[in-house]
Amino acid sequence: MSTLEILMAGVIAIIGIGLYGLLITRNLIKVVVALQILVKGALLALVAAGEASGQVNLGQSLAITVIVADTVVAVVGLALAVQAKRLLGTLDVDALSTLKG
C-alpha cells in the first residue's frame, strides 16, 4: 500500500467513527466530540490531498485554517451544551427533542 492509500483508509476510518458516534450517542458533549473526530478526518484528507497533488504547503495551510474555524464551532457547541445542562439539568439529547412534527 502506498502512503496515499494508507491515508485514504485513515480518512475513511476516522469519518466512519465520527459518523457512528453522531448516530448513536445520546450525550451532548459526546456529540461535540464526534463532530471533532469528523473534522479531524477532514483535516487528514486535506493534508493527504495536498500531498497527492504535490502541493503540500497548500494542503497544510488549508488544514490550519480549518482548525481555526472549527475551534469556533466547537466553542459554540460546548457553550450550547453548558447552557443545556444549566437549563435542563441534563446533557441527554432526548431532552432536546421536543420540537417535532
Query: Can you tell me which of 17, 30, 80, 90 binds other proteins, judged by CB under 8 A?
Result: 80
- Give the x-and-dash track for 1-20 against other proteins (CB under 8 A): ----------x---x--xx-
In whole angstroms, how large is the CA radius of gyration of the chain? 17
Which amino acid is present at 61? S
Ramachandran region of residue 61, left (φ > 0), alpha (ψ -120 to 50) or beta? alpha
38 forms part of the interface with other proteins (CB under 8 A): yes
Mention every residue, 6+ apart, whose C-beta is less than 8 A from residue 78.
Answer: 29, 32
Query: For the chain, how many residues are written?
Result: 101
Residues that bind other proteins (CB under 8 A): 11, 15, 18-19, 22-26, 28, 31, 35, 38-39, 41-42, 45-46, 48-50, 52-55, 58-59, 62, 65-66, 69, 72-73, 76-77, 80-81, 83-84, 87-88, 93-94, 96-101
